[in-house]
Amino acid sequence: MKNGSIRRIALALAAPFAAVVFATIASSIFLLIAGSNPFTAYGDMFEYGSRLEIQVDILNRATPLYISGVAAAIGFRMNLFNIGVEGQYRLAAIVAAYVGASVSLPGVLHVGLILVVAMLVGGAYSGVAGVLKVTRGVNEVISTIMLNAIAISGLIAWLVREWQAGGSVDATTSNLGVGTEPIDESGLIPNINSWLEVFTREIGKGKELTGVILVAIVVGILYHILINRTRFGFDLRATGINPFAARAGGVSDKKMVLGAMVLSGVVAGLVGMAEIAKLGRFNPNFVGGLGFAGIAVALLGRNHPGGIAIGALLFAFLDTASGVLQVTGSASREIVFIMQGIILLAAVIAYEVVQRFRIREEARLASALLEGDAQ
Amino acid sequence: MSEASMIGLLTAAVSFGALLYLAALGELIAEKAGILNLGVEGMMAMGAVTGFMVALETENAWLALIVAMLVGALFALIHGLFTVVLGAEQVVSGLSLTILGLGMAAFVGKNAVGRPPGAVLAPVDWGFLSDIPWVGPILFTQSPIVYFAILCGAATSFVLTRTRTGLALRGAGESASTVDASGHSVVQLRLGAVAMGGALAGASGAYLTLSLTPQWTEGVTAGRGWIAVALVIFGAWRPGRCAIGAFLFGGLLALKTRLQTFGVDLSPILLSMIPYVLTIGVLIAISIRARNRPSSAPAALGQAYRREER
């Protein structure tokens, strides 16, 4: 059935491809209405995105996006919607930054400690939603939305003040003074410019390719192994496809819900760690919104480790390369938000259409086989 | 605490409450028909930006409000098309709608940031009623949208519980196949409810930029769409209880900015957490009560209805 598998891959790729094409066309219409030339705008973005320094930026942006996408995907695989990655990674980041700055350890241990703290905090916070669902049947979508709000508008806002370096915000100094104490050099993940420079020229403009990219790759491989090669992963997929059958097969749904939720939060914690490794502290430059973007990336990549990577790179390209539009003035930078939204919506539809097509195909095949038997 | 500042607080509580109530009511209608729409924040942003832009262009606040409601409804119909007609996953589609709405609002409103409003909705003049102590300033100096919100609440309650359409609509959220068998179109009912929800979310957004804080900045909705989603649960899917919740949460929003003037030594941060903590508390309470009584959530909430799979 080699023909069949090629067909399957083609079908799987058709949906996201169609979504991107559709989004590009739709965004062009918006650009035209706004009086910009879409070709100039896209041309500028591609030209800008082809520079090595900008590609480093894209990879740096794609790294946390990818980890965040995997965090969301773990839940999605069993139809568990962890909308709370946003709150989990931010909370993990500030706690990890605080703990990381308050100790001094030799390199590997220091990095390891920050890593573990971030994962623990993320897992613990998502665990709240898991426990609520398992013990009280509280819908995880609603509880994680609430927990996001509690974390962002409450806990973090409070911790930022409590853990402010120097005790209080000094209004006379610039923004640079705001934030937690800086983490010692030993706690930061070094850049891996030299690795990339093997293949290319020297990276200029002080750009640094984050070493967290290696963490992201490990996360991706572990995710692949977990889903496809372990009992837990099998149960996870089974629960996602048919919860009743899985339960009948002896899968404890409570254990699965709690396990998937906590694991998702643990990975979300790594997103926070990635950002802290870049900034060296928790300060106003901390990037928000990676949790929601991660959901988008996971949906786009169909929860597949490779697919999420493509989604993360695409969104990172749009986010980063759109910066040039500010400079050239060929279009309004916000067009990429519209583009991302449309890509996402179009992907939802495209997957639905492909899914139906597939079911109809299978039904036709089955009926053809049955007719064959009858004769 | 002076009398004037107390009156100021309660007036703001009613204003903020109405803002939350409109959006929550819209979400309630959609959820009653079985469609969870997590795009409230996006629809509000779209309503806010279109309301402001139309007011800038035409200097007619009423026209701006109507256009904002239409845009909200159209935007919601994207979600309707996906979830009702095509049967896509509601959580996914709703979240996408929020992402798209916030992005599109930022794009559309880019040149309007910081500009003075073209028109605002002036408070209704109730004549001598506004002069009643306490009640006058709190209830009778409000923007027309506040009264519109209360009217909408009463109308929703009436339609849902006292009319055939309301019965069918609730049916679509409880057991879509039953409603289908009784000769109603589930698709029409659900699409109508979703569009209505979008219109109210749009009105809520427009209320922000036409009356409450008459200017446009990116992120003006500030997560209030999510509070609206919480309110529906808090109010156990009942318009009346939602109203109580909305004015309570509105009061908290109003109090947050006034804590210091009252000289209360309480962190505004803790206050801003209360609505969300309360909502989780209510969810837990619902689940404890649910052992004896059926849950108040619509039974078919979040489930796609496909005729061929009945």
Would the pLDDT of A2 be above 70?
Answer: no
Would the pLDDT of A204 be above 80?
Answer: no
Q: Count Cβ–Cβ pairs < 8 Å, chain A vs chain B.
A: 126
Its ipTM equals 0.83
pLDDT-derived band of residue B173, with 50, 70 and 90 as boundaries?
very high
- Å from B277 to nearest chain A CA? 7
At A261-316, the pLDDT tens digits run: 999 999 999 999 988 888 888 888 788 889 989 998 998 888 999 999 999 999 99
More confident residue, A348 or A175: A348
Under a CB-based contact definition with an 8 Å cutoff, are residues B272 and B256 in contact? yes
Chain A residues with CB under 8 Å of B287 CB are: 136-138
Radius of gyration of chain A (CA): 23
Nearest CA in chain A to B271: A154
Burial class (CB in 10 A: 0-12, 13-18, 19+), A305: buried
**Residue ranges covered by each domain of chain A:** 37-331
Mean pLDDT of A162-187: 66
Region for B121 from its dihedrals, namely left if φ exceeds 0, alpha if ψ lies in -120 to 50, beta otherwise: beta
Q: What is the CATH number of domain B3-309?
A: 1.10.3470
Mean pLDDT of A168-179: 53
Would the pLDDT of A188 be above 90?
Answer: no
Would the pLDDT of B296 be above 80?
Answer: no
Instruction: Please state, rounded to an integer, the average pLDDT across all residues of chain B.
Output: 89
pLDDT-derived band of residue A17, with 50, 70 and 90 as boundaries?
confident
To which residue do tokens 């539809």 refer? A349
Structure confidence at residue A62 (pLDDT): 95
Structure confidence at residue A375 (pLDDT): 56
Mean pLDDT of B183-198: 95
Structure confidence at residue A173 (pLDDT): 46
Q: Verify whether the Cβ–Cβ distance A141 to B288 is below 8 Å.
A: no
Would the pLDDT of B269 be above 90?
Answer: no
Question: What does residue A68 show for φ and ψ, rounded to 5 degrees?
Answer: -65, -40
At B44-77, the pLDDT tens digits run: 999 999 999 999 999 999 999 999 999 999 999 9
- Å from B279 to nearest chain A CA? 8
CA angle B285, B289, B290 (to 5 degrees): 115
Under a CB-based contact definition with an 8 Å cutoff, are residues A346 and A18 in contact? yes
Mean pLDDT of A171-187: 67
Under a CB-based contact definition with an 8 Å cutoff, are residues B42 and B97 in contact? yes
CB atoms within 10 A of CB A101: 22
CA distances from A371 to A364, A366, A375 (A): 10, 9, 7
Mean pLDDT of B215-241: 88
- Å from A1 to nearest chain B CA? 30
CA–CA distance, B17 with A120 (Å, rounded to integer):
38
**What is the widest separation between alpha-carbon atoms in chain B?**
65
Q: What is the CATH number of domain A37-331?
A: 1.10.3470
At A108-140, the pLDDT tens digits run: 899 899 999 999 999 999 999 999 999 988 888
More confident residue, A196 or B196: B196
Q: CB-CB: which of B99, B106, B267 is closest to A334?
A: B106
As a residue count, chain A comes to 375
**Residue ranges covered by each domain of chain B:** 3-309
Q: Verify whether the Cβ–Cβ distance B103 to A30 is below 8 Å.
A: no
